[in-house]
Amino acid sequence: MKKALFALFAMVFFTSMIFAGGASESSAAVVTNADKPLVFYNRQPSDPVTGEIDMDAMNHNSATYYVGFDAAGGGAVQGQMIVDYLTQNAVDRNGDGVLGYVLAIGDVGHNDSKARTEGIRKALGTWNGTTDPGIVKDGELTVNGKSYKVVELDSRAMTGTDGSTWNANAATDAMLNWATRLGNQIDFVVSNNDGMAMGMLQASNYPAGVPIFGYDANADALEAIVAGTLTGTVTQNADAQAEATLRVLRNLMDGLSGDDAITVGITKADQYGNKISADFMYVPETKALLAMNAPVTSANAADLATGARDAGIKQLPSEVPSKRVILTVYNASDNFLSTQYVPALQYYAPLMNIVLNVVQGDGQNESNSLDRFENLGNYDGYAINLVRTNSAQDYINKIENS
């Protein structure tokens, strides 16, 4: 094992030595589509049931990576934020000694959604070994020396009538139903993203003042925290992820490999002084480069709401050759992607001399994205946001047969 690790390290070190200095050489003309860089982002190739990472897809070629954020860490951040709030505020509305909550799951087959459900349930003691809706146990929490039972009253995936996941309208409908059915048993509300949390707040019978927590730090969610309607959210740093998705591609299209592909301009400055300001972690086993999460409450929402771009990334000089990338977005209407991620991609791509062709899907049919993932010879690299997390091979087949 040690020997293998050493050999791998030596290989990575050696290849990065070979390519060091060749950063601005264009090699696209001679690269076959199958050898071109491929970055999956936001929706990690994985089994929708077990969450197991699709390593066949990740090993498509040596220039295949996933860029996302620390999903498990984020779930824990969200869970802790909720527990911190509960232990500082008395929320037992009907005084029955039970802290009841409802949970908007999002997409039961998506690793980000699973990680949040797990993080929340573990923090609240309701975790019963699975992220499935409804399979929970009672937890316990001590607030001001008094012990409360914690009960997940209900949870739902939140699939829209059109089949799309993370659906805010479904969350509004669920909340209408929950508020009527469960009344003041609901002491707090948890959502695995801001889009659904804002959807729940839209319910005409939303119990005023009941704490509600989301995830993503979308602009409207930050405003709602400042206004006092949303209680908290978590930022997964969309800017950092968008920057890294593009920068990993840029590095690979420039011929960098090994360590350099995932560090140059990211965790260490490139030759022009560009470096992403945020921190990252790299998981070699899954070829995943991950941004970090942070809790957002009334204490810091206003600072984030300025939406400032990363000053660490400046325009690359014009002698750095322009590269073309086709990038798919699983759902044009996804709250997080359309208000945060895609605008960030569009801001940073020109700074990195990348011309992006963005293909926006409908969030339910893979073919809607896949059919328009075409003319692959015209591009130097590919970025994919899967509709179904187990469909990576469909894109790879298309790349290999083009």
Residues forming contacts to ligand BGC in the complex (CB under 6 A) are: 42-43, 112, 166, 193, 195, 215-216, 334-337
Nearer to ligand BGC, 234 or 261 (CB): 234
User: To the nearest whole angstrom, how small is the minimum distance from the Cβ of residue 97 to ligand BGC?
Assistant: 33
C-alpha 288/C-alpha 223 separation (Å) is: 32
Nearer to ligand BGC, 72 or 376 (CB): 72
- Whether residue 323 contacts residue 355, with contact meaning beta carbons closer than 8 Å, is answered with yes
Distance of CA 89 to the CA centre of its chain: 30
CA atoms within 13 A of residue 158's CA, in its CB half-sphere: 31
**CA–CA distances in Å: residue 225 to residues 119, 142, 240, 245, 380:** 22, 26, 22, 29, 42
Nearer to ligand BGC, 113 or 263 (CB): 113
User: To the nearest whole angstrom, how small is the minimum distance from the Cβ of residue 385 to ligand BGC?
Assistant: 7
Distance of CA 157 to the CA centre of its chain: 17
Smallest Cα–Cα separation from 39: which of 238, 261, 237? 261
Q: List phi, psi (to 5°) of 330.
A: -60, -30
Nearer to ligand BGC, 99 or 174 (CB): 174
User: To the nearest whole angstrom, how small is the minimum distance from the Cβ of residue 238 to ligand BGC?
Assistant: 9
Smallest Cα–Cα separation from 370: which of 389, 402, 398? 398
User: To the nearest whole angstrom, how small is the minimum distance from the Cβ of residue 117 to ligand BGC?
Assistant: 12
User: To the nearest whole angstrom, how small is the minimum distance from the Cβ of residue 363 to ligand BGC?
Assistant: 9
Nearer to ligand BGC, 320 or 387 (CB): 387
CA atoms within 13 A of residue 61's CA, in its CB half-sphere: 18
User: To the nearest whole angstrom, how small is the minimum distance from the Cβ of residue 277 to ligand BGC?
Assistant: 21
- Other CB atoms within a 10 A radius of the CB of residue 375 amount to 10
User: To the nearest whole angstrom, how small is the minimum distance from the Cβ of residue 43 to ligand BGC?
Assistant: 5
User: To the nearest whole angstrom, how small is the minimum distance from the Cβ of residue 193 to ligand BGC?
Assistant: 3
C-alpha 232/C-alpha 220 separation (Å) is: 12
- Take residue 318 and report the two structure tokens written for it: 């014009």
Nearer to ligand BGC, 185 or 339 (CB): 339
One-letter-per-residue 3-state SS of 223-286: HHHHHCCCCEEEECCHHHHHHHHHHHHHHHHCCCCHHHHHHECCCECCCCCCCCCCCEEEEHHH
